[in-house]
Structure 1
Amino acid sequence: MNAKNGKILVVDDNEDILFALKLLLKPHVELVHTTANPNDIPDLLGKTEYDVILLDMNFTKDAISGQEGFSWLERILGIEPSAIVVFITAYGDAEKAVKAIKAGATDFILKPWHNEKLIATVSSAVKLKQSQKQVSDLKERQKEISNVMDSPFHDFIGKSEAMLSVFNTIKKVAKTDANVLILGENGTGKELVARALHRDSPRSEEVFISVDLGSIAETLFESELFGHERGAFTDAKKDKPGRFEIASGGTLFLDEIGNLSLPLQAKLLTVIERREVVRVGSNKPKSTDVRLICATNNNIHSMVGEGAFRQDLLYRINTVEVHLPPLRERYGDIPLLANHFLSVYTKKYKKKIKNISAEAIKKLETYGWPGNVRELQHAIERAIIMSDSNVLQPDDFFLSSQKSSTGSSMEFETFNLDEIERLIITKVLKQSQGNITQAANELGITRTSLYRRMEKYDL
């Protein structure tokens, strides 16, 4: 036991026992309170938060049943459900020990005790209590962070008909444990939807784990998602739980699920169906309980038709689908979003910018926003950083995709969306001199998505 660590309450009707335990424990713990009268317990618990309570099992002379101890254990747990209670008695046996543990006690000490063993038992109980506190603190921190990020939907806001439909779907689905598939272009707020679903679910007090499947190398997929045992491969120097284990009891968000290869899709399907994982280097399955939310910016239904995505996996992950509209389909939300980001970033950068001019708003409303809400967010942030005035003007916004290399606005002779997309991709590829990564970033999509579109349009 670390020096002066832990607050202990000892309750025993024998004054000699109280004196001996206080003398024994005092050098090792921060505080030792003792009482011979169990009726003092409620008042003591109201004044001090104890790490461990050492509780006599019998308070009536010649009593051996232990019923008094069990009654006081019940009262203690009624006052403080997370209390760590260790019974002390001279009449212990295996049956009473089992009954005590089942009733909510943490451990059992027999009189007369061995000093070293008693100190070790109290030390373990103190560590258990402190671990409980750490877990509780972490949950509270996550809850507060989630409240800040998601209240009411953090940056996920809008009043357009399309967005009101999305909000309505979230409210209906969140209370269930149904698997959800979120479909939408990059930058539309798919993770914000996932967090909103988690926040309003019965699992909201548990963890929310987000995994970007597009950033995980195929060779590390099993290790990252299912975990590995020490020695399973060269760099496996210790046991490591996977994301499914870590998220058990809570929500697991798998972003960019459309990027998985068919072999990895098969492995993921097996875990979802069996609700258990097997760590790399082990043959022992571990059960897992997650609420699964997936997302992709790909046309996953077309991928099924093309044989690029397993239909049985799609059935498993899309009990309910949420379709997020691109920003170009909800222009009415642009002033609302722009002013929201204005409020966020003027506070962050301590700038005294009061508003965005009507001309600037009009400029934002006439832009195509290939990067969707994320691009709008970055545009507002950049404008706030660079502006020296108290009102943002059109010239404060540099919208890189709005102008061609010659400086003229892009114009289209067609309203066919496929043709417009082909023209835009061709133009951006030319501007980036064939650099796929740069072009994908400019378009606000992944390299995989760009390759798929290039193949579609034979570019």
Structure 2
Amino acid sequence: MKQGTILIVDDNRNILTTVKMLLENTFEHIVAIANPNNIPAHLREDKPDVVLLDMNFQSGINSGNEGLYWLGQIKKMRPQAKVVLFTAYADIELAVSGIKAGATDFIVKPFDNDKLIATLKEACSKSAGGSDAGSGESGMYWGVAPCMQELRLMVTKVAATDANILITGENGTGKEVLTNEIHRLSHRSGKSLMTIDMGAVSETLFESELFGHVKGAFTDAKADKAGKFELAEGGTLFLDEIGNLSYALQAKLLTALQRRSIVRVGGSVPIPIDVRLICATNRDLSDMVTKGEFREDLLYRINTIHLHLPSLRERREDIPALARLFLNRYAAMYNKPAMELTPAAEQKIKDMPWYGNIRELQHAIEKAVILSDGREIGEQDISGSASVAEKPMEGVQTIGEMESRLIEKTIRECDGNLSQVASRLGVSRQTLYNKIKKYGL
């Protein structure tokens, strides 16, 4: 599925053409401009979700001040837009300054195509329009369910502190959206919120991603690179799927947290860190401690405050409002007329199990909007991906569908324990995680 709108700003027209072609299958609307003075007009007219911004525009001037200036202007005019900086190897330290000034990430030239696409997709998913957990003005839809109101009260109390937080909940309940809300309410909101998906980072790249590296530390280390700890300085560091971190790497993370400093890979100089740590998982870390799969001392360190996000099945009174929120969003996105749910469709939505939680509901509504020819979404237009797994395997049409159902079924049988799921299916955790992402489980 194509995502929102991206504005590309670079004075090199060859780069504009190349990047635009690369992103044709990723973004719904792509705007490419060579003159940064046109940025304000496009922010007003096109309302981009993401801006890919070059750091230097005038020939022979490589200070990066232009990029930092326009970064500031974008954050003032359209604060919900995520800015990804475009920079050369020699300007990486400038990019780090940009991150501290509010940019979401940076891409180094010459760029890797897959890395470019992945970085921009991630940035779009973090924008106000790309949230997948139901959002209002603040980015978080709290609803009226008592369990959510209790959680909201707790978040209000702890957000203003620097206490480390562990967020638990099933897949699709909105753990990253809750993290964004906590950061927004904290005194660190003016600084960066950096995210690392522990399930998507290989063990070999973990230290470089988290702690950074110095030039020559390994074969592809062509320049010094700051890690996410440094980029989050003064702000918040979000470690998603912390339960997927191997036991050996847990020790390295614990050491950094205890010493409040990190050392870049290949380096020797300790670098002090000041971050607020938020971790998330869909697994039972206490059970993992008992089984020797997770360090007890690390659990104590990251679990000063524990917040649990209830499943959609535990807050059924919020389902119709969430569905209407997504209905309005996708009707606008796909240029459809105003739509509404029939009473039968609303009742079906309330009764469905929604094992994939808010993310599954969102996808179901989006699909219904795309396929609808009228203004009403009927009972027959609503289907859920996770509940499909209950159907007999004989009904599958493709190998991919069979694989998707098998993974869903095994996840439920293992109560979301992905290590156990991977073991039962005979694949690595990384392979399993990639397939979960592929099928949107």
TM category, shorter: 0.5 to 0.7
Q: Which of 379, 391, 399 is residue 405 of structure 1 equivalent to?
A: 391
Alignment pair present for 1:176 and 2:161: yes
Question: Looking at CA atoms only, which structure, 1 or 2, has the larger radius of gyration?
Answer: 1
The letter of the residue matching 1:190 is K
Alignment pair present for 1:258 and 2:243: yes
Aligned residue for 1:292, secondary structure, equals: strand
Quick one: distance in 1 between partners of 2:167 and 2:156?
A: 14
Quick one: distance in 2 between partners of 1:231 and 1:447?
A: 43
Change (3 A) 1:243 1:140: farther
Give the CA deviation at 1:162: 0.8
Quick one: distance in 2 between partners of 1:137 and 1:438?
A: 47
Query: Where does 1:83-98 land on structure 2 (aligned, <5 Å)?
Result: none
Deviations 1:180-220 (A, max 9, x none): 11000110000011000000111111111111011000010
Quick one: distance in 1 between partners of 2:74 and 2:336?
A: 33
Q: Which of 195, 200, 209 is residue 180 of structure 2 equivalent to?
A: 195
Q: Which of 285, 288, 298 is residue 313 of structure 1 equivalent to?
A: 298
Change (3 A) 1:132 1:350: closer
Quick one: distance in 2 between partners of 1:305 and 1:369?
A: 30
Q: Which of 133, 151, 154 is residue 69 of structure 2 equivalent to?
A: 133
Structure 2: state its 5+ residue gaps: 1-59, 82-125, 130-134, 425-441
Change (3 A) 1:194 1:331: same
Q: Which of 294, 302, 305 is residue 287 of structure 2 equivalent to?
A: 302
Q: Which of 403, 406, 417 is residue 449 of structure 1 equivalent to?
A: 417
Q: Which of 138, 144, 148 is residue 80 of structure 2 equivalent to?
A: 144
Indicate the structure whose relative CO is greater, using CA pairs within 8 Å and at least 6 residues apart.
2
The letter of the residue matching 2:282 is N
Quick one: distance in 2 between partners of 1:168 and 1:386?
A: 39
Aligned residue for 1:402, secondary structure, equals: helix
Quick one: distance in 2 between partners of 1:441 and 1:153?
A: 32
Native 8 Å contact 2:183 2:189 kept in 1: yes
- What is the aligned partner in structure 1 of residue 353 from structure 2? 368
- What is the aligned partner in structure 2 of residue 99 from structure 1? none
- What is the aligned partner in structure 2 of residue 414 from structure 1? none
Deviations 1:216-258 (A, max 9, x none): 0001000000001111111111111100011111111100001
Structure 1: state its 5+ residue gaps: 1-122, 409-426
Q: Which of 431, 439, 449 is residue 406 of structure 2 equivalent to?
A: 439
Quick one: distance in 2 between partners of 1:242 and 1:142?
A: 27
Change (3 A) 1:407 1:363: farther
Quick one: distance in 2 between partners of 1:281 and 1:147?
A: 34
Native 8 Å contact 2:142 2:149 kept in 1: no
Alignment pair present for 1:381 and 2:366: yes
Give the CA deviation at 1:142: 8.0
Quick one: distance in 1 between partners of 2:242 and 2:80?
A: 29
RMSD of aligned Cα (Å)? 3.4
Change (3 A) 1:357 1:155: farther
Give the CA deviation at 1:352: 1.0
Change (3 A) 1:139 1:179: farther
The letter of the residue matching 1:207 is S
Give the CA deviation at 1:364: 1.1
- What is the aligned partner in structure 1 of residue 47 from structure 2? none
Native 8 Å contact 2:166 2:305 kept in 1: yes
Quick one: distance in 2 between partners of 1:200 and 1:223?
A: 30
Give the CA deviation at 1:134: 4.7
Native 8 Å contact 2:283 2:416 kept in 1: no
Alignment pair present for 1:208 and 2:176: no
Give the CA deviation at 1:401: 3.9
Change (3 A) 1:147 1:381: closer
Aligned residue for 2:365, secondary structure, equals: helix
Aligned residue for 1:144, secondary structure, equals: coil
Quick one: distance in 1 between partners of 2:164 and 2:78?
A: 22
**Percent identity among equivalent residues?**
44
